[in-house]
Amino acid sequence: MTEQEYFYWGNFREKAEQTLTKEEADKVAIIWNRLFQARKFYRPCTCDPRAWQKMINEINQVYEAYETPH
């Protein structure tokens, strides 16, 4: 996870809404694909909230394990 992604994700986690905007969905997909080195770019259908939540949970695990630069 890059430092920029780390700070973006921290802000993302603080938001109160439980829906994704198109921009947020794009960013989640980009971060997830880069972190997990997907062979083919994966972006779930917006009709599948469980797939999005799974991606978010996986990114959260990386975020929580990330050591912030000092």
Please give the average per-residue pLDDT across 39-53, as a whole number. 92
* pLDDT band at residue 68 under the 50/70/90 scheme: low
Q: Write out pLDDT tens, residues 3-41.
A: 999 999 999 999 888 889 999 999 999 999 999 987 889
* pLDDT band at residue 61 under the 50/70/90 scheme: very high
Secondary structure of the chain in the HEC alphabet? CCHHHHHHHHHHHHCCCCCCCHHHHHHHHHHHHHHCCCCCCCCCCCCCHHHHHHHHHHHHHHHHHCCCCC
Higher pLDDT: 46 or 68? It is 46
| pTM score, whole prediction | 0.86
